[in-house]
Chain A
Amino acid sequence: AQSVTQLGSHVSVSEGALVLLRCNYSSSVPPYLFWYVQYPNQGLQLLLKYTSAATLVKGINGFEAEFKKSETSFHLTKPSAHMSDAAEYFCAVNTGNQFYFGTGTSLTVIP
């Protein structure tokens, strides 16, 4: 079975500090991996997508993620947190005709 695990349901960082949100996947075949962001009372917005073209994927709003096959990880990072980054972040995986989201990580940015 395919799935994603997000370590840490809540992460707090100071404004300007590094953001690191963790995601590990389990898949028997090379997956398509995604990070989505959800602001309160809204739908999800795609941050970035891994498609095997490059292990380091750059997304919107300064976010990037690195695919590490040996660690089955796809962690999301941003060098400097901004107040507007406060939101819920979801890692997701697609294999075949199925799509799985992780349980989400709530990011709080402290001024």
Chain B
Amino acid sequence: DAGVTQSPTHLIKTRGQQVTLRCSPISGHKSVSWYQQVLGQGPQFIFQYYEKEERGRGNFPDRFSARQFPNYSSELNVNALLLGDSALYLCASSSRQGLNQPQHFGDGTRLSIL
């Protein structure tokens, strides 16, 4: 079975632009979480979605938003990009709602802001 897939793998944007990142969970997984990993740091939790509803939110500004579709895939949107948004964005899926469940990570989208 395919693992968690993220697209695109790399992306270059300029300040002020908007970006949409996509994630397809493992088949049968209904929970998707998003993380931001700045170079040299640990991932930071952004959102968790389960059954198309937001179930958890980290300490990120409103420029960050996400949604989950009926097929459980998810999009992360970031508006008004800043240089500090340059990072690896990771998506993880799990079979159940809670963040205490084992999460399966994709390889991430590398976002560079110029």
Chain A residues proximal to chain B, CB less than 8 Å: 32, 36, 41-46, 49, 51, 90, 92, 94, 96-104
Contact = CB atoms under 8 A, between A and B. Distances in A.
A104 B41 contact: yes
Nearest to B42: A101
B108 A43 contact: yes
Contacts of A46: 102-104
B92 to A, nearest CB: 8
A96 B90 CA distance: 20
A1 to B, nearest CB: 10
Contacts of A36: 105
B106 A94 contact: no
Nearest to A32: B100
B80 interface: no
Contacts of B56: 96-99
Interface stretch (B13-21, B43-51, B62-70): B43-51
A68 to B, nearest CB: 20
The 4 tightest CB contacts between A and B, nearest first, are A43-B105, A97-B56, A101-B42, A32-B100
B41 A100 contact: no
Contact of A104 (B35, B42, B44, B107): B42
Given A36-B105, A94-B100, A97-B56, 8 more contacts: A32-B100, A42-B107, A43-B4, A43-B106, A44-B92, A49-B102, A97-B57, A101-B45
A96 B45 CA distance: 13
B55 interface: yes
A43 B107 contact: yes
B44 to A, nearest CB: 7
A90 B45 CA distance: 14
A44 B105 contact: yes
Contacts of B4: 43
A51 B42 contact: no
B33 interface: yes
